[in-house]
Amino acid sequence: MSALDDKINEHFAGYAVRKDLVKTVKGNAIVPSYVLEYLLGQYCATDDEASIATGIETVKEILRKHYVHRNQSGLIQSEIKERGRYKVIDRVYVSLNEKTDAYEAVFENLSIKKVAIDSGTIKAHPKLLVTGVWCISDVSYEFAEQSGVSPWTVDTLKPIQVAGVDFDIYTEARGKFTTDEWIDVLMQSIGLNPDEFGKRGKLLQLMRLIPFVERNYNLIELGPKGTGKSHVYSEFSPHGQLISGGEVSVPKLFVNNSNGKIGLVGYWDVVAFDEFAGRTKKPQKALVDIMKNYMANKSFSRGVSTMGAEASFAFVGNTAHNVPYMLKNSDLFEELPAEFHDSAFIDRIHAYLPGWEIEVIRSELFSEGYGLIVDYLAEILRHLRNDDLSLVYQEAGFKLGSQISTRDRDAINKTMSGFLKLLFPDGGASETEIEELLSLAIESRKRVKDQLKRIDSTYPATDFHFVRPSGDQCSITTLEEDEYPKFYYKNLASEDDGEDVDVIETDHSSTGTATPDGSDKADGAVDAVKALPREGHIVVKENRRGITFEKLFGPWLKGASKIVITDPYIRMFHQARNMMDLMEMIIRQKAPEDLVSVELITAPNDGDMARQREFLDAIVTACEAAGVEFSWSYDGSGTAHARHIVTDTGWKVSLDRGLDIFQHFPAGDAFNLANRFQEHRAVKQFEVTYLRV
C-alpha cells in the first residue's frame, strides 16, 4: 500500500475500499460499480488482508446466491416458489395499477411483473416510479385461486445505497489531506490511477462529477471513442441516470400530460444523455424547446402548469473528426443533431469538457489503490448540492472582466462552485488554487462562446479575462486556441485561411511576456520554426500537443559545435529516451561533415545506477557514427539542480522541467503515434527561457 492508501484508511475507516476488488468480485454480474462497492463496503472496508480475503468470498457468495442473471430467471422463480421467500438483487421498476388501485413492481432480470408492493415502500423510495433502481429485496410466492391475483409479493425492499453520512466527519477528514493528495483521493475513488495523469488531466476527469454536486448544471463532453465519457454517469452514483440520447421523450424526461406524472428531472440529480452526438438523429422539436427553457430557467411547462426541478444535464457523445479538422471546416459542436446545433441551445451549456484531451482507457489507467466507496462519496456530493460556493473567488479578491456577459458569468460561477465543493468542501483554498480553478472554469465556458460566434455571427467577441487581487489582468485561452490559432481564429465566411505558420503559444497566465519573436504582447506567440532565435520566455500548458524538441530548441542549437546540457534527471528509461530524441534532432539539423560535441551533466540514479549507465553509454555508441561526440558525467559538486542547455554560439536555454516534458505514453506500442512522433504526445506544463550569454 502507498502512503496515500494508508492515509485514506486511517481517516476514512469503514468508508474506503480497494478499487481493484470490484473486478475481482464482479465476474459475469452485469451490475453498476456502486452496487458492487456497496457490498464490498459491507465486508471489505479494511486494510487487513485476511479480512479482505474473507470479505471477497462473502460478497462473491452473496452475488452467486442472490444476483439474478436473466438466463437463470426461471431457476430463481422456482427457488422462490419452493422456499416461499427468497432474497434477490435486481433492478426494480414500479407503476400504479389504476384498475386495482395498487402498486406493482417489475423485476427486470427475474422477469416477473405485477409484483405486489406496499405504498409505504413507494413513499420512502419514489424513484421506483420513474425508472429502475437496484435493490436487495425479499420476494415471496403464494399462489391464489382468485383470477387475476399475482402470486408474487415484495416483503422488504432496500435500494442499494448508503443509508446516511456524517458530513462533519467528512470535512474534518478532508482537512487531513493536502490539495494534491485530495485530488488523488478523488481520482482513486472513481477508479483511476492518479500517477498516470497530470494536474490538468485530473481536473478534467473530476469535472465530470460537477453535475452531481451542482444543481441545474449543464455540461457537454464531445471527444473520441473509448475515453470513458459515460462511465461516471452509469457506474458512479445511484442518483444519476444515463439514457440514450435517441430514446428520450418529453413525457419521459419532463412530464406526462395524460397523468401529470413528472419525469426524470424530478427524481434524479443528474440525467446524462449518452450517444448525444449524431447529425442524422432527429429529436422532437418539442423536446428541444422544453429543454432550452429548462436549462435556462430551471423550470418547464407543457401548457398545464409550470414546474421546477434541480436535475443537472450531462451530454456526452463521440466526434467523427479531430480538432483541427473541426476548426477548419465547421466547429467543435459539428456532431450535434441539427435541432441541437442551435445557438440558443448551445448558449445554455455551462461548460464544454474537451473530450479529445482525455486518454483512451487503458488497463494501466485503472487504480489498484484505496478510494472512497463511490456510494458514500455520491451521498456526500448530494449533500453538497445544497451549498453555493460560486462567489468564493470574488471574496478572495478575483474579478471577472467587464465584457463577460451575465450568462457567461453564471456559467463560470457554477463551474467554480462545483470545483470548490469537490476539492474544498471545508473551505481553505489558497489564492493560487482559486486562480487555477477559475482559469479552467473560464476556459470551459470560453470554449462554448467561441464556437457560438462561429455558428452565429451575431454573438459579439468577448475578452475572457479575470483580474487578480493584485490588480494584474490575466487573459484566458483554450488549449486548442493555443495549438491551432490558424484555424481557431478563422472566419468561416472568408476564403482567407491565414498565414501557414507553425507556432507554440505561451500560457496566458501573465501579460507582457517577452517572446522569442521579439514582441512583448500578451498572447506570446512563438514562431519557433521560421523565426531567427531570439531571447524570450514561453509557458506551455499541460495537455498541449504539437510540441517537439525541434520547435523548442532547433533554432537555438543550430550551428553550435559544442553543447553542454545540465539535467540531473536523466535517470529513468523515458528520460534517457528524451535525451536520445534530442540527439536525433541535433543529428538531423547538422551537416554530415560537421562534428558536434555534446556533454551531459546529470546526477546518479541511486535506485539503479547500473541501468542508468547502460542507457547513457548506449547513447554514446549510437551517436558515434553520425558525427556527434556524446559524453556524460555525474555532477561532482552535487549542485546541478538547475536544468539548462548552453551552446558555444552564445545561447542558454533554461528548462524548468529539463527534457522531461512529455506525459506518459505507451512506449512499447510500435503502432501508437505518440510513440513514433513527439507532436502526438501530450506535454506537462513547462517553461523555457531563451537567453544570450
Q: Which CATH number fits the domain that encloses residue 374?
A: 3.40.50
Residue 409 lies in a domain: no
Q: Is the pLDDT of residue 366 over 80?
A: yes
- Domain boundary (135, 159, 183) is at 159
Residue 35 lies in a domain: no
Question: To which residue does cell 436473466 refer?
Answer: 70
Q: Are residues 206 and 339 in the same domain?
A: yes
414 closest CA partner among 273, 201, 219, 231: 219
Residue 357 lies in a domain: yes
What is the total count of domains within the chain?
3
The pLDDT value given to residue 363: 84
User: What is the rounded distance in angstroms from the CA atom of residue 380 to the CA atom of residue 362?
Assistant: 29
Q: Are residues 183 and 321 in the same domain?
A: yes
The pLDDT value given to residue 563: 97
Q: Are residues 185 and 87 in the same domain?
A: no
Q: Are residues 143 and 195 in the same domain?
A: no
Q: Are residues 204 and 271 in the same domain?
A: yes
Question: To which residue does cell 432480470 refer?
Answer: 109
Confidence of residue 304 (pLDDT cuts 50, 70, 90): low
Average pLDDT over residues 489-499: 49
Please write the tens of the pLDDT for every residue from 125-149. Answer: 888 887 788 899 999 999 877 777 8
Q: Output the nine-digit C-alpha cell for 351.
A: 461548460
Q: Are residues 221 and 146 in the same domain?
A: no
Average pLDDT over residues 233-260: 84
Confidence of residue 595 (pLDDT cuts 50, 70, 90): very high
Q: Is the pLDDT of residue 683 over 90?
A: yes
Average pLDDT over residues 655-681: 90
Residue 24 lies in a domain: no
User: 3-state DSSP call for residue 615?
Assistant: helix
Please write the tens of the pLDDT for every residue from 144-157. Answer: 777 778 899 999 99
Q: Are residues 312 and 190 in the same domain?
A: yes
Q: Are residues 140 and 180 in the same domain?
A: no
Least confident residue range of 179-193, 221-235, 300-314: 300-314
Q: Is the pLDDT of residue 503 over 60?
A: no
The pLDDT value given to residue 245: 66
Please write the tens of the pLDDT for every residue from 429-446. Answer: 999 999 999 999 999 999
Residue 388 lies in a domain: no
Q: Are residues 188 and 155 in the same domain?
A: no
Q: Are residues 578 and 554 in the same domain?
A: yes
Average pLDDT over residues 44-68: 88
Q: Which CATH number fits the domain that encloses residue 101?
A: 2.40.50
Q: Which CATH number fits the domain that encloses residue 666?
A: 3.30.870.30
The pLDDT value given to residue 496: 42
Q: Is the pLDDT of residue 526 over 50?
A: no
The pLDDT value given to residue 665: 87
Q: Is the pLDDT of residue 530 over 90?
A: no
Confidence of residue 236 (pLDDT cuts 50, 70, 90): confident
Range of the domain at 213: 173-382
Q: Output the nine-digit C-alpha cell for 689.
A: 527561457
Q: Are residues 286 and 212 in the same domain?
A: yes
523 closest CA partner among 592, 474, 486: 474
How far, in whole angstroms, is CA 255 from its chain's centroid?
Answer: 32
Q: Are residues 201 and 149 in the same domain?
A: no
The residues near 58 (Cβ < 8 Å, ≥ 6 apart) are 43
User: What is the rounded distance in angstroms from the CA atom of residue 636 to the CA atom of residue 264?
Assistant: 68
Q: Apex CA 361: angle with CA 356 and CA 363, to 5°?
A: 155
- DSSP code for 192: B
User: What is the rounded distance in angstroms from the CA atom of residue 350 to the CA atom of residue 219?
Assistant: 6
Please write the tens of the pLDDT for every residue from 5-43. Answer: 999 999 998 888 999 898 888 777 778 888 888 888 888
